Structure 1
Amino acid sequence: MNLSSLLKPRAVKVLSDVTSKKRLMQAIADQAHDLIGLPSSQIFDALQERESLGPTGVGHGVALPHARLSDLTEVHGAFLRLERPIDFDAADRQPVDLVFALFAPADSGVDHLKALALVSRTLRDPALCAKLRANADPATLHTLLTDHESIQAA
């Protein structure tokens, strides 16, 4: 599993109008609807259900919201860079501006966990996060994320 298989270029966005965690979750659900075709209300509910188990803000301005959806056959990702960080109930209480959402089949088991681990490892790199924060072009953000993986593997 690699980021380029999880994250398609059209799944990367920069958002300037998100002001709350709930609005961010709705923006993620709307973006995922465009990517995977499931109703955004179903995606939103699944994200909220997962978030109710514990916040997915992992610290250092990064959040990894995720959901399992019964109508999927493979894991999909979406990356959003927020122009203005928002409160996300993160573990370190820092506002979030880098969001990598994952959507997995309900029965994906280990694939979902592998995808979460891959994304978490990738966004743990402070240099990469600084580059992501310094760029507002979705194509550049996609390249930074997918090229970082190949650089790390070398």
Structure 2
Amino acid sequence: MILQKVFQPSTIRTGLESENKEELFEELVDVLSRSYLAKSPFPRQKILDALARRESKMSTGIAKGVALPHATVEGLDTLRGVLGISSKGIDYDSLDGHPVFLVFMLLSPPNDAESHLQALQRIASLIDDTNMASRLAASTSSAEALSLIREFDSGELS
């Protein structure tokens, strides 16, 4: 059920316009900023810096057209995520050298490692389901993508 809590209609973006990783991070952080209702200020630059630091260690473009940028960020109130879907593919410096079409950005405060790991594990399970990942990548609306996530997260597709 964790994916249903992390990804909401307002944090799912179909039709990504980004052509590379840097543009993608900006676009996804913009999506997150519009849905950020915490009392503390939105830590935009901290998020971008944390993602860049994580990517400098190793690309989170894992394979099969999927990227999973993730980081811990001081100033975040809770586990947050954005799902981005691109129909044209994004140059991401992926481990397999292919463009990415499905991007799960996951961010958490430093004191919430358990939820962060649970969400990463559930996303990994989703990605392993090739049919599910393909259907999700073909989604043309946030409602369609969220419906698939809910089905998968509730165990109906796993």
Letter of the structure 1 residue corresponding to residue 123 of structure 2:
V
Letter of the structure 1 residue corresponding to residue 149 of structure 2:
L
User: Who is 2:110 aligned against?
Assistant: 106
Shift of residue 54, structure 1, vs aligned partner:
0.8
Task: Judge conservation of contact 1:56–1:63 (CA < 8 Å) in 2.
Answer: yes
Letter of the structure 1 residue corresponding to residue 29 of structure 2:
A
Query: Which consecutive aligned stretches of 4+ in structure 1 deviate over 4 angstroms post-superposition?
Result: none
Letter of the structure 2 residue corresponding to residue 68 of structure 1:
T
Answering whether residue 72 of structure 2 is matched by residue 68 of structure 1, we say yes
Q: Share of identical aligned residues, percent?
A: 30
Shift of residue 152, structure 1, vs aligned partner:
4.1
2-side partners of 1:38 and 1:46: how far apart? 14
Aligned residues: 153
Equivalent of residue 121 in structure 2, options 100, 114, 117: 117
Q: Deviations over 1:59-110 (max 9, x none)?
A: 0000000121122232111101012112212121121010011110112222
Q: Tell me the TM-score normalised to structure 1 length.
A: 0.90
CA RMSD of aligned residues (A): 1.6
Answering whether residue 147 of structure 2 is matched by residue 147 of structure 1, we say no
Structure 2 gaps, min length 5? none
Structure 1 gaps, min length 5? none
Answering whether residue 23 of structure 2 is matched by residue 23 of structure 1, we say yes
Task: Judge conservation of contact 1:29–1:41 (CA < 8 Å) in 2.
Answer: no
User: Who is 2:61 aligned against?
Assistant: 57
Task: Judge conservation of contact 1:14–1:136 (CA < 8 Å) in 2.
Answer: yes
Q: Tell me the TM-score normalised to structure 2 length.
A: 0.88
User: Who is 1:127 aligned against?
Assistant: 131
Task: Judge conservation of contact 1:62–1:99 (CA < 8 Å) in 2.
Answer: yes
Letter of the structure 1 residue corresponding to residue 59 of structure 2:
P
User: What is the SS of the residue equivalent to 1:123?
Assistant: helix
